[in-house]
Amino acid sequence: MSSAAPGSTAHLFEVKSAQLQLVTLLLKSTHLNEVANELQQRYGNNPDFFAGDPLLIDLSALRDSEESVEWSFLLPLLRRYHLVPVAVKGGSPRQMQSALQAGLAQGDEATYARAEAAGQAVLRAAAAPVPEPELLPALIVDKPLRSGQQVYARGRDLVVLAMVNPGAEVIADGHIHVFAPLRGKAIAGARGYTDARIFAASLEAELISIAGVYRTSDKPLPANVQGRPAQVRLQAGPDGEKLVLEPIN
Amino acid sequence: MAKIVVVTSGKGGVGKTTTSASFATGLALKGFKTVVIDFDVGLRNLDLVMGCERRVVYDFINVIHNEANLHQALIKDKQCENLYVLAASQTRDKDALTQEGVGRVLAELANMGFEYIVCDSPAGIETGALMAMHYADEALVVTNPEVSSVRDSDRILGMLGSKTQRAIEGKEPVKEHLLITRYNPNRVEDGQMLSLEDIHDILRIGLIGVIPESETVLQASNEGLPAIHKEGSDVSEAYKDLVDRFLGHERPLRFVEAVKPGFFKRLFGGR
């Protein structure tokens, strides 16, 4: 136990400015039972998906409706999925006031940290020098991933040197590289990074997804990539983003 | 040093118990002191296949719960000098198996001088299957040439690589062997069954044997006789090959080529 010696002017704390990476939840409904059901459907099998991520709740889709949000229901619900709600943004003054009373900070100056290539870069350069984010090296897996196994490369790329079998899942917030047959599910850009790509030495995946845009093997892969070295990326088009599958070489 | 071998598959009805019985018998016939343990608590079958169901007084669960000692529960095989059976309980369920209890019984068996301990795993991926594989040194992964069986075997291989004592303690991993049962080369040729290559392409572990599809297996289990005792049958020969390969001898693969039915067979529709 250490304690400040009497008489000394020990500083027991300092106040500094800090930045925090947040996950955003764009809430589209105040029918929280339905929200709870959807959470259960999407993440029920994977309750550790968020692993304590701080959360910004975006109310902009509800702003005009002026409906009130049942915070005493929503906050415990989100915490059950290991999300830590810290702030709200975008709500009507009344909604924001109620959030403040529920213990959430006002996060209106927060902007989406979506890596929109050019615009973002300019913005960054203009702003005060931001400390370089610490490099998170890719997660490397050199054993086969078999049915029922799952690997999540949190905040980084995933490199798999052995096969990914049907029923296995590889998930990364960045890119996914598989130097062997990819036969299971591959989910790149799991937290919305739209420039993420999937590379496979032999593309035979059951499901491929980039930043939430997905395609299942229900629709067979085109012949020029099926079972061949290929990459998958997301391309913005007039009618939204779509997955582009291309052979490599 | 006793070697613990789990016979497992994930999927039910693929031939785990048939294989456990014949494999353990084969090892005993080679002179090794062998015990085969039924982990399928509540749905015991091994004693039937081994033909000792009427001699079960105490079982594996009794020993785990200290209600009987091993000498009381071990059933000596009638055909084979070095073979013993430890039956499962029919009245309990898988929760009666405890990791600590299983470990204690296996250690005791090793102390009694058993050279091979064959663990007949129940189907599924729950307690029973986990207990059967937990202390394994080697695994026979029994797979039928069809997609769902291959998928389940894949799942079990994942668990062998992560949930066993060797995996948890970071020791040398469990040695995995692929055993394909109910293989029918003619049906493979017709495209009704997966071929050896298809299966290997997904599972990618060493193939230790192929047991052909045969009525002998059913006859043998009904008689309470391990199929390996059915002298002269394909199944018996294939199980003997399996045992030889397991003991480190090279044996060519047999019963994997399609046989065209002869002219008379086609004419008279014989089977």
CA distance A7 to A158: 54
Domain count, chain B: 1
pLDDT reading at A9 higher than 70: no
Burial classification of residue B13, based on how many CB atoms lie within 10 Å of its CB (0-12 exposed, 13-18 middle, 19 or more buried): exposed
- The conformational region for residue A240 under phi > 0 = left, psi -120 to 50 = alpha, else beta, is left
Which tokens in the block code for residue B118?
């064959």
Say yes or no: A105 and A40 in one domain: yes
What is the ipTM, given to two decimal places? 0.73
Residue in A146, A163, A183 closest to B155 by CB: A146
User: Where does the pLDDT of residue B137 fall: very low under 50, low under 70, confident under 90, or very high at 90 and above?
Assistant: very high
* Average pLDDT taken over every residue of chain B: 93
Over the stretch A45-92, which tens digit does the pLDDT of each residue have? 776 777 788 888 888 888 888 788 888 888 888 888 888 888 888 888
CA distance B23 to B36: 9
User: Where does the pLDDT of residue B270 fall: very low under 50, low under 70, confident under 90, or very high at 90 and above?
Assistant: very low
pLDDT at A81: 84
Q: Is residue A43 part of a domain?
A: yes
| B160–chain A nearest CA distance, Å | 11
CA distance B61 to B93: 10
**Domain ranges, residue A44:** 22-110
Over the stretch B64-73, which tens digit does the pLDDT of each residue have? 999 999 999 9
Residue with tokens 């040194």: B137
pLDDT reading at A113 higher than 80: no
User: Where does the pLDDT of residue A122 fall: very low under 50, low under 70, confident under 90, or very high at 90 and above?
Assistant: very low
Q: Is residue B271 part of a domain?
A: no
Of A71, A92, A110, the one marking the end of a domain is: A110
Q: Is residue A6 part of a domain?
A: no
CB-based contact A203:A247 (threshold 8 Å): no
Give the closest residue to A79 by CA, choosing from A109, A102, A96.
A102
Strand partners, A95: none
SS3 (DSSP) at B199: helix
pLDDT at A108: 65
CB-based contact B60:B35 (threshold 8 Å): no
What CATH number has the domain bearing residue A159? 2.160.20.70
CB-based contact A59:A97 (threshold 8 Å): no
What CATH number has the domain bearing residue A42? 3.30.70.260
Give the closest residue to A247 by CA, choosing from A234, A219, A228, A221.
A228
Cα distance between the two ends of chain A: 63
Q: Is residue A5 part of a domain?
A: no
Q: Is residue A7 part of a domain?
A: no
Q: What are the chain B neighbours of A146 within 8 Å (beta carbons)? A: 154-155, 157-158, 161
Of A94, A110, A126, the one marking the end of a domain is: A110
User: Where does the pLDDT of residue B263 fall: very low under 50, low under 70, confident under 90, or very high at 90 and above?
Assistant: low
User: Where does the pLDDT of residue B267 fall: very low under 50, low under 70, confident under 90, or very high at 90 and above?
Assistant: low
Q: Report the residue of B166, B202, B203, B205 to disrupt the A interface, i.e. the one with the largest count of A CBs within 10 Å.
A: B202
CB-based contact A207:A185 (threshold 8 Å): yes
Query: At residue B180, what are phi and psi to the nearest 5 degrees?
Result: -100, 125
Q: Is residue B191 part of a domain?
A: yes
Q: Is residue A123 part of a domain?
A: no
Residue partners of A118: CB distance under 8 A and separation at least 6? none
Over the stretch A199-243, which tens digit does the pLDDT of each residue have? 999 999 999 999 999 999 989 999 999 999 999 999 988 888 999
Q: Is residue B99 part of a domain?
A: yes
pLDDT reading at A8 higher than 70: no
DSSP string for residues in B12-45: SSSSHHHHHHHHHHHHHHTT--EEEEE--TTS--
Say yes or no: A243 and A142 in one domain: yes
Domain count, chain A: 2
Q: Is residue A178 part of a domain?
A: yes
Query: At residue B132, what are phi and psi to the nearest 5 degrees?
Result: -65, -35
Q: Which residue of A has its CA nearest to B149?
A: A147
User: Is the overall model pTM greater than 0.95, yes or no?
Assistant: no
DSSP string for residues in B222-254: HHT--GGGSTTSHHHHHHHHHHHHHTT------
CA distance B265 to A9: 103
Say yes or no: A142 and A95 in one domain: no
Q: What are the chain B neighbours of A183 within 8 Å (beta carbons)? A: 202
Q: Give the lowest-confidence range in A50-54, A105-109, B87-91.
A: A105-109
| B126–chain A nearest CA distance, Å | 14
| B156–chain A nearest CA distance, Å | 8
pLDDT reading at B200 higher than 70: yes
What CATH number has the domain bearing residue B21? 3.40.50.300
Say yes or no: A86 and A158 in one domain: no
Q: Report the residue of A165, A169, A202, A204 to disrupt the B interface, i.e. the one with the largest count of B CBs within 10 Å.
A: A165
pLDDT at B264: 60
Say yes or no: A142 and A234 in one domain: yes
Query: What average pLDDT does range A175-194 have in this prediction?
Result: 95
Say yes or no: A97 and A149 in one domain: no
